[in-house]
Amino acid sequence: QVIKCKAAVMWEANKPFSIEEVEVAPPKAHEVRIKIVATGICRSDDHVITGALVMPFPIILGHEAAGVVESVGQGVTSVKPGDKVIPLFVPQCGECNSCLSSKGNLCSKNDIGTAAGLMPDGTTRFTCKGKAIHHFIGTSTFTEYTVVHETAVAKIDSAAPLEKVCLIGCGFSTGYGAAVCTAKVEPGSTCAIFGLGGVGLSVVMGCKAAGASRIIAIDINSDKFAKAKELGATDCVNPKDFKKPIHEVLIEMTGQGVDYSFEVIGRTETMTAALACCQYNYGVSVIVGVPPAAQKITFDPMLLFSGRTWKGSVFGGWKSKDSVPKLVADYMKKKFVLDPLITHTLPFTKINEGFDLLRTGK
């Protein structure tokens, strides 16, 4: 049965979302149709609107959500109607090199790099005003109903509060995992986090959970500092307070540079600063923010020759289908908090106001 429902459609770049009635086709074989209960707003969605992340239009954005399975296609075994689930923008097919390796998590079935904006079979499940609407990285959660592939959905604890655990679909897991999974921060180490949005604050939480002794939080918006301290930051630094480059400030603060640095903004200048501020020989710098399209980095190769490691992390390095249910279970056992990451709760129709709050750093 086709479902008619409300969705926030992005018809073209740099325009507001348009709340439209869309038709959502039933799930095909190995697909799942989900009623979305709660969805978060992430900077990566905004990157599509501004063109920093190139995707085809028209499109239904959104990728951080939780909901309930409405129906399943033929051959689906891992979830059934009524199950509480989180859609996964990094799928886990269990068969590709990354899925089979203990070292990787970026399943080859992902639609982040290719940006086709379609289901794995090359078609879409959304139509609006007679036009086909693209999917976003296999999830598309800014809609009352969405369709995802079975490899891109995780069944979670039926007692979990969906309006909180939706953050495990992206922001929290991405930041927390960058620290504990990708960087493998050790007890007693020194960390620097560039960018204190929801993901950056989750990196702070991950560094604290891993036992870091010094956690330096960096942002040009000092309003972010109180929350960063509440979640474990030991020092807060605003680059605007200094005449010299921020990496020099951090090296002075720590003597040799930090053991681990994280760029959680998606700007090339801060990526190079994060690399330069980590220890010259064994420092590790992790790129967490989505890099802008069509921009290149120029840096002194001596920064790497001396031994530093520069790496990226997508979805915090977690194998999605395996890890999301465990992270939800950990949340239910109060192993970490999510409430401080939620600043506003808005009705779906106010999605444009939500993006305004994001863009103004609120």
The catalytic residue among 93, 170, 181, 277 is 170
Calpha distance 92→178 (Å, rounded): 18
Check whether the bond before 347 is cis (ω within 30° of 0).
no
Is position 42 annotated as part of the catalytic site? Answer: yes
- Cα 16 to chain centroid, rounded: 22
Is position 63 annotated as part of the catalytic site? Answer: yes
The catalytic residue among 5, 42, 236, 247 is 42
Is position 261 annotated as part of the catalytic site? Answer: no
The catalytic residue among 63, 134, 135, 149 is 63
Calpha distance 344→173 (Å, rounded): 19
Is position 181 annotated as part of the catalytic site? Answer: no
The catalytic residue among 44, 202, 313, 320 is 44
The catalytic residue among 47, 134, 149, 247 is 47
Tell me, letter by letter, the H, E, C secondary structure of the chain: CCEEEEEEEECCCCCCCEEEEEEECCCCCCEEEEEEEEECCCHHHHHHHHCCCCCCCCECCCCCEEEEEEEECCCCCCCCCCCEEEECCCCCCCCCHHHHCCCCCCCCCCCCCCCCCCCCCCCCCEEECCEEEECCCCCCCCECEEEEEHHHEEECCCCCCHHHHHHHHCHHHHHHHHHHHHHCCCCCCEEEEECCCHHHHHHHHHHHHCCCCEEEEECCCHHHHHHHHHCCCCEEECHHHCCCCHHHHHHHHHCCCECEEEECCCCHHHHHHHHHCECCCCCEEEECCCCCCCCCCCCCCHHHHCCCEEEECCHHHCCHHHHHHHHHHHHHCCCCCCHHHCCCCCCHHHHHHHHHHHHCCC
Contact criterion met (CB below 8 Å) for 146 and 85: no
Interior/surface letters 121-146, b for 16+ CB within 10 angstroms, e for the rest: eeebbbebeeeebbbbbbbbbbbbbb
Is position 173 annotated as part of the catalytic site? Answer: no
Residue 355: CB atoms within 10 A of its CB come to 19
- Catalytic residue positions? 42, 44, 47, 63, 170
